[in-house]
Structure 1
Amino acid sequence: MKDFSKELTFKTSRSSGAGGQNVNKVETSVTVLWKVDESEFFNDDQKNLIHTKLKNRINAEGFLFLTVSESRTQLMNKTKAIEKILEIVDKALVIPKKRLATKPSKSQKQKRLDTKKKLSEKKENRKFKF
């Protein structure tokens, strides 16, 4: 995991929810912004991967943004925002393994046919015969 927290910019705003008397006075909600294209920590391929996987979080100007207002303090929200954005970018950079198509073995096929035959016989025995 690369720590690109030096490239992040922060905006604060009043957050809704719990806060008591401070809720209408103190700006505790933190929005973290990161300009993906101007990053020095990632190469062009990684930036393209981030753009494709996180396109719904990146705005028209190319900023990846995330808002956190879980805590009552600005400092806690700022640290949580940094953790979350690092985690989101780290997950976006993971390339999943390609699935290799496999065929069932002969014994698996035979076992499936045997269970089908047993079930069929069981149901056949349930029928009322004259």
Structure 2
Amino acid sequence: MAAGSLQITPHLTIPDDELVERFVRASGAGGQNVNKVATAVELRFDVAGSPSLPELLRSRLLARRDRRLTDEGVLVIEAQRFRTQDRNRQDARERLAQIIAQGLSVPKPRVATRPTRASRLRRLDAKKTRSQVKRNRNTRDWD
């Protein structure tokens, strides 16, 4: 692993100059230091503009419906699980590596199947039964 880079796989690394880290104050309980120490980390990675990612991986990551991905193609990860800035920084980097690694796996194509004859008959039978129940509700004589 090269110094100053994030190792995803043995063949894929992200240089540190492509990662933008911003340290902010964490929300929630934290004692005396909560208003003084910026321990939470906001890690930004430009998926759309990164020269380190192969084109296939880039398109797969951008196609994900992920709320952390902005309209410009920047992945934003917020880490504030731990009390120290260093541990939150490490957590954010691990989560980024995990997201990119998930994009490396090729999704299995869906094989279209047809419903069996028995399942179609069960469905139609259930529809007939339900229809009969509803029909019996309306034919009562209320006089």
Same fold (TM over 0.5): yes
Bigger strand fraction: 2
Which structure: larger Rg? Answer: 1
- TM-score, normalised to structure 1, is 0.69
Distance 1:53 1:73 in 2: 31
User: Are the structure 2 counterparts of residues 70 and 55 from structure 1 closer, same or farther at C-alpha, using a change threshold of 3 Å?
Assistant: closer
1:96 to 94, 107, 123: 107
User: Are the structure 2 counterparts of residues 70 and 88 from structure 1 closer, same or farther at C-alpha, using a change threshold of 3 Å?
Assistant: same
Structure 1: give runs of 5+ residues left out of the alignment: 103-130
Report the equivalent of 2:13.
Answer: 3
Overall identity of the aligned pairs, in %: 34
Distance 2:75 2:109 in 1: 28
Structure 2: give runs of 5+ residues left out of the alignment: 1-8, 114-143
Distance 1:98 1:62 in 2: 25
Q: Give the superposition deviation at 1:44.
A: 1.9
- TM-score, normalised to structure 2, is 0.63
User: Are the structure 2 counterparts of residues 99 and 63 from structure 1 closer, same or farther at C-alpha, using a change threshold of 3 Å?
Assistant: closer
Q: Which has the higher contact order (CA 8 A, sep 6+)?
A: 1
Moved over 4 A (4+): 99-102
> Which string of whole-angstrom CA distances, capped at 9 and with x for unpartnered residues, describes residues 61-102 of structure 1?
321111000011111100000000110121123112335579
